[in-house]
């Protein structure tokens, strides 16, 4: 199926789900002490139609604006109206994907504030968006602690504040998380989930969907699901004996997934396979295009 980028895959799937882009913007909601959220329409992965913009700080400001991701002028205007009377300290980015950064440059330029992100995110955005402040794991910024959680994206950051964590695309309140082998890493993603589960915050504030109040339970669920899927890959490889193509494995491992989502499922399958090859649990014959145990 080739190597399309994540945004191209999102567009491909959106076309198969009529009305996914028609949902209205949602209102500003308090989700934790010193954290409010505004869900704005973005070109994201269905069934989600919004990306959450988090405002971190006191009700009268100053606030840090996390992931102003909408590229649409009408959605940016909604955010501008809400922020009109609030001082802003900076724009914070969890990672580089378009549905998280689509409005960052416009907001930063309009309000004359810096954009801050992990160095790997800054590299990914080079010549697209100017990141003027770099954030490393453990840095304290705008009352939060930055936690580097690579896997979905190499520069992914979560922002912890008290017992809550702005979780970006580590988990989702609606839909799922794609690990694309072109820029993601399944082993790192699982390690990041484990690290998050071991930390104090219990409320996860995802980029898509409502707050997840029992964060530890959700992280345990995510880890169990990914490990279940990996075991299915291993079982399919054993059953294939001499080897199987990606398409054959896809039809077996993701038999429980609607066929219209298989373009995305294929990317996750390849991420699992890359992990297994690295761990010497699978092999790939490039000449024959077949995977084996």
User: Which residues carry out catalysis?
Assistant: 99
- Which residues are bridge partners to 185 per DSSP? none
Alpha carbons 150 and 28: distance in angstroms, whole number: 29
Alpha carbons 19 and 148: distance in angstroms, whole number: 35
Alpha carbons 287 and 293: distance in angstroms, whole number: 16
Q: Residue 228: is it exposed, middle or buried by C-beta count within 10 angstroms (0-12/13-18/19+)?
A: exposed
Who's near 18: CB < 8 A, 6+ residues apart?
Answer: none
Q: Residue 162: is it exposed, middle or buried by C-beta count within 10 angstroms (0-12/13-18/19+)?
A: middle
Q: Which helix (H) or strand (E) holds 6?
A: helix 6-14
Buried b (16+ CB within 10 A) or exposed e, 252-261: bbbeeeeeeb
Alpha carbons 54 and 134: distance in angstroms, whole number: 19
User: Tokens 């890493």 identify what position?
Assistant: 185
Give the start-end residues of each E strand in the chain: 29-32, 35-41, 50-56, 63-66, 88-92, 115-117, 133-134, 140-141, 144-148, 157-161, 164-168, 203-206, 283-285, 290-292
Query: What are the phi and psi torsion angles at 209 (to 5°)?
Result: 100, 180
């Amino acid at each position: 199926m080739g190597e399309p980028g994540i945004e191209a895959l999102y567009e491909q799937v959106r076309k198969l789900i009529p009305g996914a882009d028609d949902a209205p913007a949602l209102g500003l909601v308090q989700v934790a002490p010193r954290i409010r959220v505004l869900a704005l329409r973005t070109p994201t992965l269905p069934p989600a139609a919004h990306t959450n913009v988090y405002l971190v700080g006191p009700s009268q400001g100053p606030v840090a604006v996390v992931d102003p991701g909408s590229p649409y002028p009408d959605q940016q205007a909604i955010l501008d109206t809400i922020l009109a009377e609030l001082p802003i300290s900076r724009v914070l980015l969890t990672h580089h994907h378009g549905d998280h950064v689509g409005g960052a440059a416009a907001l930063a330029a309009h309000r004359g504030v810096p954009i801050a992100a992990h160095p790997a995110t800054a590299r990914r955005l080079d010549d697209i968006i100017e990141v003027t402040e770099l954030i490393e794991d453990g840095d304290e910024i705008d009352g939060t602690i930055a936690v580097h959680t690579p896997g979905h994206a190499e520069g992914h950051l979560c922002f912890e504040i008290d017992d809550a964590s702005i979780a970006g695309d580590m988990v989702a309140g609606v839909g799922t998380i794609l690990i694309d082998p072109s820029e993601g890493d399944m082993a790192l993603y699982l390690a990041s989930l484990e690290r998050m589960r071991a930390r104090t915050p219990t409320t996860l504030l995802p980029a898509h969907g409502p707050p997840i109040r029992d964060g530890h339970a959700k992280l345990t669920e995510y880890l169990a699901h990914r490990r279940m899927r990996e075991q299915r890959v291993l079982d399919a490889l054993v059953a294939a004996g001499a080897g199987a193509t990606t398409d054959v494995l896809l039809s077996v491992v993701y038999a429980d997934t609607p066929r219209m989502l298989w373009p995305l499922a294929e990317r996750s399958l390849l991420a699992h396979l890359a992990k297994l090859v690295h761990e010497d649990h699978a092999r790939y014959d490039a000449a024959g295009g077949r995977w084996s145990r």
